[in-house]
Structure 1
Amino acid sequence: MDTDALRWFQQIADGVTMTEVSEIEFITQSGVSRALSRLEADVGTQLLRRTGRNLRMTSAGAAFKRHVDALLHQLDDGLAAVDQLIDPETGIVALASQLSLGTWLVPNLVGSFRRTHADVRFELQQVRDNQTTAVLQDTRLDLEITTVRPTDRTVTWHPLLTEPLWLAVPQEHELATRRHVRLSEVSREPFLMLRRPSLLRHQTEELCEQAGFEPAVAFEGEDIPTLRGFVTAGLGVAVVPALHLGSPEALTGVVHHLQITDAGAAREIGLGWSSERKTLPSAELFRQHIIDRSGAGDLPAVAPMF
């Protein structure tokens, strides 16, 4: 069914003349008349009847008009929603990130972006640091800030920064007076780790293996703040990402952190997106904003250890 014919029917039913419709829509009167005839053929009955020089709705036309009004109203709302979506200054960015990046990097990037693009909205999704990327699993996502380097060729990866891994120990621990540690020095300590298939868990186990021991896991948690909480309670030690300036965790001082000197004690943070889906303008703006800040070395620095 031709939406132009529906709009012309609506206008004439509201009192606009055929001549006025023709002038407004830049189409001949015969073109309008043919479109209305096709509409009546589609509906299966006469919708308009000529009374003198004017067209008036039939009973069927009056019944049909109520639904046409509702349909065109919804259609216009849908078109307006699409216009808003594809407008780079009023669109929506669907962004996924790991919980450990959501306290410092993501707020920093979104905040600096919205200072110049205040009407862009964000749909944020937190994901675990599993060994698969979220943009492969959820086609609604535009971008993902992650420590998972994708192996699938349909995902583009742009490295942003390298984040050191630290060892978190209780404040009263015998190592709490030091700034550096080798993992072999804590081989007999109970370890607090994320549940599998966490990438950080896998990396921690690899670092311990390289240091010559298998860690004794005393507790498995779902997120890094929980691990730090158990460290605070004196239940073990944990390999955790470095704290960054601007993170609320960097202000607490509830645990002591030591720099791990073992080779490979760091994780790479990057930006991922599907190379098979066209990025909407607002997401493209945000992607370029992140890449520009990374290229300029303008990302939050590591906080002093304590």
Structure 2
Amino acid sequence: MDMETDALRWFQQVADGVTVTEVADIYRVSQPGVSRALARLETEVGTPLLHREGRLLRPTHAGRVIKRHVDALLHALDDGLAAVSELVDPETGTVTVAFQLSLGTWLVPGLIGRFRQSHPQVTFRLEHSDDALGSSLLAGGRIDLEFTSRRPRNPAVQWHHLLDQPLLLAVPPAHALTGHASVSLAEVAAEEFVMLRPSWELRTLSDELCAAAGFTPRVAFEGDDLPVVEGFVAAGLGVAIVPASDPGGASTGRGDLIPLSDPGAFREVGVAWSRERRLLPSAELFRQYVISR
């Protein structure tokens, strides 16, 4: 077989829903040229990989099977090409970073901002992740580093502890506890709670803290992310356990966020990366910087 890299890339994009005309425009080649390359690829494989549905070409069963391998092959090739480029100048690479929304307001911007003061030409591609149990973008190779409060269960993922983030009690405006220096969960055992859904790590930790305080929380509402939870609390629909929005957590700056005095009222925050995929030089440079800080 003598497969062309361009043909593989064009097959990958067409199988993902891009039209042959759009592929031709993107790569500045003729539409018949793209069609001939795809036909040669099918001849080399020995079976049809695409079939027409209206204006689009859709992958056949064989096309779907081979596409997974084409994706992996091109990903590895692109990594290799990028690695060679960065070996010449590791200060010009791109680092792909994922992080939970609650860490994107203070931790990640601060680290990237300080890093870029010394490495201004390194660029970053950002993705949002959540801490729902079992979710990770690392194993598939889509990202270089993930900032997360979840210890990965995947043995292929390495995790390094960065800090302990205090947990606070969010209360509605003008709540009886507003302005208190601290509060224990036992003091709000009779309140209704707004919580994340059970699949989230923070929900598991919240349930454990309430159990240690001697009660099972009455959950009035469940949400899919922290801003939703905080919005329901602000509307007076319950109290919630939320992470501090700064590393120290000693001063919230808001009377409706009260530090919890319960033992273990914090969540671990760390950075994770793949054990099986070597980080490119710019990503490794940033990883070392993060750990040193």
Measured against the shorter chain, the TM-score band is: 0.5 to 0.7
What is aligned with 1:143?
Answer: 145
> How big is each residue's C-alpha offset from its partner over 1:154-197, in whole Å with a ceiling of 9 and x where there is no partner?
22111100011010112310111312111111111111111231
Number of matched residues? Answer: 214
Instruction: Please tell me the residue identity of whatever aligns with 2:264.
Output: G
Identify the match of residue 90 of structure 1 among 89, 92, 97: 92
Aligned residues of 2:171 and 2:256 also touching (Cα < 8 A): yes
Secondary structure of 1:267 counterpart: strand
If the length of structure 2 is used for normalisation, what is the TM-score?
Answer: 0.67
CA distance in 2, matches of 1:152, 1:204: 23
Secondary structure of 1:213 counterpart: coil
Secondary structure of 1:115 counterpart: helix
Secondary structure of 2:111 counterpart: helix
Instruction: Please tell me the residue identity of whatever aligns with 2:113.
Output: G
**Closer, same or farther: CA 157–263 of 1 in aligned 2, 3 Å:** same
If the length of structure 1 is used for normalisation, what is the TM-score?
Answer: 0.64
Instruction: Please tell me the residue identity of whatever aligns with 1:269.
Output: V
Q: CA deviation at 1:82?
A: 6.0
What is aligned with 2:125?
Answer: 123
Identify the match of residue 113 of structure 1 among 99, 115, 126: 115
What is aligned with 2:218?
Answer: 216
**Closer, same or farther: CA 258–133 of 1 in aligned 2, 3 Å:** same
What is aligned with 1:195?
Answer: 197
Q: CA deviation at 1:287?
A: 0.2
> How big is each residue's C-alpha offset from its partner over 1:27-68, in whole Å with a ceiling of 9 and x where there is no partner?
xxxxxxxxxxxxxxxxxxxxxxxxxxxxxxxxxxxxxxxxxx
Calculate the aligned-residue CA RMSD, in Å. 2.5
Aligned residues of 1:96 and 1:134 also touching (Cα < 8 A): no
Identify the match of residue 163 of structure 2 among 161, 164, 167: 161
Instruction: Please tell me the residue identity of whatever aligns with 2:242.
Output: V
Q: CA deviation at 1:146?
A: 0.6
**Closer, same or farther: CA 177–115 of 1 in aligned 2, 3 Å:** closer
Alignment of 1:24-43 (within 5 A): none
Aligned residues of 2:99 and 2:146 also touching (Cα < 8 A): yes
What is aligned with 2:285?
Answer: 285
**Closer, same or farther: CA 208–81 of 1 in aligned 2, 3 Å:** closer
CA distance in 2, matches of 1:282, 1:108: 18
What is aligned with 2:57?
Answer: none
Secondary structure of 1:218 counterpart: strand
**Closer, same or farther: CA 113–200 of 1 in aligned 2, 3 Å:** same
CA distance in 2, matches of 1:135, 1:223: 18
Gaps of 5+ in 1: 2-77, 294-306
CA distance in 2, matches of 1:157, 1:245: 19
Percent identity, aligned pairs only, is: 50
Moved more, 129-138 or 216-225: 129-138
- Which structure has the bigger radius of gyration? 1
Find runs of 4+ consecutive structure 1 residues off by over 3 angstroms.
Answer: 78-87
Secondary structure of 2:164 counterpart: strand
Aligned residues of 2:171 and 2:234 also touching (Cα < 8 A): yes
Gaps of 5+ in 2: 3-77
Aligned residues of 1:133 and 1:148 also touching (Cα < 8 A): no
CA distance in 2, matches of 1:246, 1:183: 20
Instruction: Please tell me the residue identity of whatever aligns with 1:288.
Output: Q
Aligned residues of 1:166 and 1:257 also touching (Cα < 8 A): yes
Q: CA deviation at 1:84?
A: 4.1
Alignment of 1:260-271 (within 5 A): 260-271=260-271
Instruction: Please tell me the residue identity of whatever aligns with 1:110.
Output: I
Aligned residues of 2:168 and 2:259 also touching (Cα < 8 A): yes
Aligned residues of 1:135 and 1:274 also touching (Cα < 8 A): no
**Closer, same or farther: CA 213–80 of 1 in aligned 2, 3 Å:** closer
Secondary structure of 2:92 counterpart: coil
Aligned residues of 2:139 and 2:274 also touching (Cα < 8 A): no
Aligned residues of 2:165 and 2:247 also touching (Cα < 8 A): no
